[in-house]
Structure 1
């Protein structure tokens, strides 16, 4: 027997879910063992509302991870990865990702592209989109023709991670950080020819 189609939430229910997820990010980033009650208190909503929206703490955490990685995927798509020039896309997507990574540090650390979860599937799709962009960058001569794109992608992710999780006293404009990340990826740290 097939599952009934899930009805979309009403606008007020969507707002309460968004409020709960934002509160959960803040609370869990400070205390990963925080309870549903602590999250409800931080959200300003009744505990029963939180439990009505999320059957368990794990369901809330899973929804948080899925929401955050979907926002990340949307931010990458906003950079027009299939149509804009590859260098422009790399900069825009990097700045967009850095903005979100700072807002969703806890949620974006929960799953990987290999874990088979719903969030993991979206991470896998993001990895594929990144590789497609790197292929476009290689075709445009931005990346060496012989470069291993899986390795380049992993280096890019490492640079993003370092930029997003820098020291708290080094909060920097995402646009400037994006320029540093893209420059380091494409040119390394070798001296420039003058």
Structure 2
């Protein structure tokens, strides 16, 4: 088990690394350590390379996203309820871990496998939403998924003052009802 101070330091490095690497992929470990309030040697002991740190950040983001999906009960809860829970939980994750997951595919093949598994969970959930009649039958699931991802990203980063419940209300309503008057 990790000591409390070591756990805090690890969390600080991962969150600071996520933010700084999202802003500038060339950020050095020394810069991340300084911003996290730690000695760079402390960070290098845990992460000997930027790639090792990046892998840890990606995995922390994936772990957080998987916890959100578990808590949303995507397979069991009513679709609209599960969707709202998912969005309300994933918006803060997206804000806390702003690194683009597409980078993960290039940087860490093992993490990419985990990302694909998480992505499959969302695809199955949206298939369930379509099967239950909450999504139009003439719209491909891949389109609905792209819209969900884009709406979450827009809520998380385009409207940073929007709190997660409000973001979830907007995303769910927009995904399920659109913005037109129909």
> TM-score scaled to structure 2, two decimals?
0.87
Structure 1 residues 33 and 82: alpha-carbon distance in aligned structure 2, compared to 1, 3 A threshold = same
Distance 2:113 2:156 in 1: 22
Q: Structure 1 residue 167: deviation in Å?
A: 5.1
Which runs of no fewer than 5 residues in structure 2 stay unpaired?
none
Structure with greater contact order relative to length (CA < 8 Å, sep ≥ 6): 2
**3-state DSSP class of the match of 2:172?**
helix
Distance 1:118 1:165 in 2: 27
Distance 2:114 2:54 in 1: 16
- Higher mean displacement: 38-47 or 50-59: 38-47
Question: What is the match of residue 70 of structure 2?
Answer: 77
Distance 1:132 1:111 in 2: 22
Question: What is the match of residue 26 of structure 1?
Answer: 19
Question: What is the match of residue 172 of structure 1?
Answer: 162
Which runs of no fewer than 5 residues in structure 1 stay unpaired?
1-8
The size of the alignment, in residue pairs, is: 181
Cα root mean square deviation, aligned:
2.2
More helix by share: 2
Question: What is the match of residue 173 of structure 2?
Answer: 183
Give the number of the structure whose alpha-carbon radius of gyration is greater: 1
Distance 1:107 1:63 in 2: 14
Aligned ranges 1:6-25 → 2 under 5 Å? 10-12=2-4, 13-25=6-18
Q: Structure 1 residue 45: deviation in Å?
A: 2.3
